[in-house]
Chain A
Amino acid sequence: MSSLSKEMQKSRKSRFVNHSCAINYLYILGPCLFFAIFLAYPIVFISIAGLHKWNGVSKMVFVGLTNYAQMLRDRFFFIALRNNFYYIVFAVGIQMGLGLVLAVLLNEKLRGSVVIRTIFFLPCVIVPVVIALVWLRMYEPGGLITATLRKIGLGVFTRTWLGDPNTVIFAIIAVNIWEWTGLDMVIYLAGLQNIPDELYEVARIDGAGGIKSFIYITLPMLRGTHFALLILGITGTLKTFDLVWVLTKGGPYYSSHLLTTYIFNRGFYVHKMGYASALSIFLLILSLSLTIYVLRIYAGKRRGI
Chain B
Amino acid sequence: MRWKKGNWLRKSIIQLVLLSFAGLFLTPIIYIVYYSLSFGGISNYEIVIRTPFLPRFFINSIVVTGSCILIVVGLGSLAAYAFSQLKFPAKNGLFYLLLIGIMVPTPSIVIPLFQLMRKMGLINNYLALIGPYVAINLPYPMLVMKNYFDDIPKAISEAAVIEGCGSFAVFRKIMMPLSVPALAVAIVWTFLFSWTEFLFAMVFMPMKQMQTIPMAALYYNGLVYFTGKENELCAIILVIMLPTIVAYILLQGLFIKGMTAGALKG
The number of inter-chain residue pairs (CB within 8 angstroms) is 286
- Among B86, B109, B158, point to the contact of A39 (Cβ < 8 A): B109
Interface string of B6-28 (1 = CB under 8 A from A): 00000100110111011001111
Q: Does A280 contact B (CB under 8 A)?
A: yes
A129 touches B218 (CB 8 A): yes
- Among B110, B113, B234, point to the contact of A264 (Cβ < 8 A): B110
| 7 further interface pairs, Cβ-Cβ under 8 Å (given A38-B135, A125-B248, A245-B199) | A17-B86, A19-B87, A30-B71, A105-B14, A128-B198, A129-B196, A225-B263
Q: Does B227 contact A (CB under 8 A)?
A: no
- Rounded to whole Å, the gap between the CB of B170 and the closest CB of chain A is 8
Give every chain B residue within 8 A of A242 (Cβ-Cβ).
196, 198-199, 214
B79 touches A263 (CB 8 A): no
Please, how many residues of chain A have a CB less than 8 angstroms from a CB on the other chain? 106
Q: With A and B bound together, what is the CA distance between A27 and B89 in angstroms?
A: 13
B104 touches A39 (CB 8 A): yes
A17/B87 contact (C-beta < 8 A), A39-B109, A127-B214, A224-B264 known? yes
A interface majority secondary structure: helix
A213 touches B1 (CB 8 A): yes
- Rounded to whole Å, the gap between the CB of B126 and the closest CB of chain A is 15
Q: Does A111 contact B (CB under 8 A)?
A: yes
Residues of A within 8 A of B (CB): 1, 4, 9, 12-13, 16-21, 23-25, 27-28, 30-32, 34-35, 37-39, 41-43, 45-46, 49, 56, 102, 105-106, 108, 110-113, 115-131, 133-135, 137-138, 144, 178, 183, 186-187, 190-191, 194, 197, 200-201, 204, 210, 213, 224-225, 227-229, 231-232, 235, 238-239, 241-242, 245-246, 259-261, 263-264, 267-268, 273, 276-277, 280-281, 283-284, 287-288, 291
A46 touches B111 (CB 8 A): yes
Q: With A and B bound together, what is the CA distance between A46 and B108 in angstroms?
A: 8
Q: Does B179 contact A (CB under 8 A)?
A: no
B240 touches A127 (CB 8 A): yes
B199 touches A42 (CB 8 A): no
Residues of B within 8 A of A (CB): 1-3, 11, 14-15, 17-19, 21-22, 25-29, 31-32, 35, 71, 74-76, 78-79, 81-83, 85-89, 94, 97-98, 100-113, 115-116, 131-132, 134-136, 138, 142, 158, 161-164, 166-167, 192, 195-196, 198-199, 203, 213-215, 217-218, 221, 230, 233-234, 237, 240-241, 244-245, 248-249, 252, 255-256, 259-260, 263-264, 266
Give every chain B residue within 8 A of A17 (Cβ-Cβ).
85-87, 158, 161
